[in-house]
Amino acid sequence: MAFGLSPKHIQEISLDNLSPEHFLIIAIETSKKLNWNIGFISENGFIAYTKMSMSSFSEEVKIKIQDNKAFLKSECTGSQMVDWGKNKENISKFISSFNENKNAFLPEELNQKFEELKPNFVPKEDDILNQAPPTTKEKISGILSIFKPSQGYFITPILINLNIAIFILMAIRGVNIFLPDNESLITWGANFRPVTLDGEWWRLITNCFLHIGIFHLLMNMYALLYIGLLLEPHLGKTRFIAAYLLTGLVASVTSLWWHDLTISAGASGAIFGLYGVFLAMLTTNLIEKSARNALLTSIAIFVGYNLLNGLKGGIDNAAHIGGLISGIVIGYSFIPSLKRSDDLKLKYTLVAILSVVIIFSSTLVYKNITSYDFGKYDARMKEFIAYESMALEMFKMPENTTDEKLLKEIKTRSLYFWNESIKLINEVEKLNLPSTIHDKNKKLLQYCDLRVKTCDLYCKAIEENTDAYGVQIEDINKQIDTVIKKLKGEK
């Protein structure tokens, strides 16, 4: 079983008495027998892709012939970190089937098949099996290399390091690393409609670098690492960082538009945007066909699963969808400059146009999102808390308080402040507030009405010098406890 970033299994076998040409033909016939899709062929070997199954997103199998040996490598194309032995199984199946096929062809047949295959070979200068530089994934040889910028993998580690550094700073300043409270997230730059719309537009970007706990950070950084390794070598530094920031901005604006009172933070909106860019590229000829099919399937499943998982509470699916759709649009917009990679003017012009269009559109949406009267609401709620505190002072009076004093306290203070609270809530109901706040106000009115009823019953019990109202008071107190639980979000 292999473990790591894109788990792989590598094995070397001897050609024995076979010529490189004959070995190549038998190896190709073996791959066809195993139902592998062959996507690249040269005189030095080929690249094939296994079928997707319940246990695998598909693997890429490279077979390179050199110095009377064949180098076999099976590598996962999906985002999994464990292959459960699938890569080793692919190589074992290939060797076993190859040995069975060795004597199935006459030398003349092998020569004829080789001559028929030669027109399909890529030119020597385009033979990726002969290229010395390792792929971007192969450069990640150890845990520390994940954080080190290199050719084709430059912006991704910088983004990973920045996200981790901000998380560490938050932890040093006392923010809970498992479940940060709302106040801490807002202080550090989370996206929250009441404050973001109150002139703090910069939260649309800063929230893309915050995370709600260490597990949230680790999951997002793994997803960023995986898509960065696949995508950044194709896009280059400029297009990649532009895609991250622009899709992150769209994701934040989408979240802001969709949610009234949700605190949003995390890189996932921007990461979904990068997956959207890659999905767009996978529908074009920029990536070799067989590799395209394998990657398209695995990434589509990854995106689909995460979107469905986002239907659960506590996940900002609006940001995910906004990032994904904007990523697809940006991906298709990049196609002309990717096809003309030497045209720097076209590359920078497209990035500039996209930036202007997305920033302008986001600004337009930002300015037209409903701005609720949260400032006035918060001020009135502080008054309500003060009224409630004074109204409840009757329960803090000493046990030896006379009935006369207790009755006066209830009539002149408790009842007065509960009635003032009811007036306050009715006034607050006239403010422009989201439906969730209006629902809360209804519960507060119910709460105040029940408090008034208990005060009336306490007054009657004192005036009549009786315990006859005890059961009614107890029943109302139970109703008050139920309303309080609902206000706290408890069932």
Spatial neighbors of 413 by CB under 8 A, at least 6 apart, are: 390, 391, 393, 394
Phi, psi of 123 (to 5 degrees): -60, 155
Distance CA 197, CA 470 (A): 50
343 DSSP 8-state letter: -
Give catalytic residue positions. 268, 320
Please name the residues in contact with 226: beta carbons below 8 A apart, sequence gap of 6 or more.
Answer: 5, 79
In sequence order, the 6+-apart residues with CB closer than 8 A to the CB of 327 are 243, 247, 272, 273, 274, 275, 276, 277, 279, 280
Contact 421, 388 (CB under 8 A): yes
Q: Give CA 333 to chain center in angstroms.
A: 23
Nearest one of 208, 211, 161 to 185, comparing CA atoms? 211
Q: Are 165 and 173 in contact (CB under 8 A)?
A: no
Bridge partner residues of 66 (DSSP):
69
Q: Do residues 33 and 101 make contact, with C-beta atoms less than 8 angstroms apart?
A: yes
Enter the tokens of residue 62: 């490279």
| Residue 404 token pair | 């006369």
Local structure of residue 178 (DSSP, 8 states): S
| Calpha distance 249→354 (Å, rounded) | 12
Q: Identify the sign of the CA torsion 125, 129, 130, 131.
A: positive
* DSSP letter assigned to residue 122: P
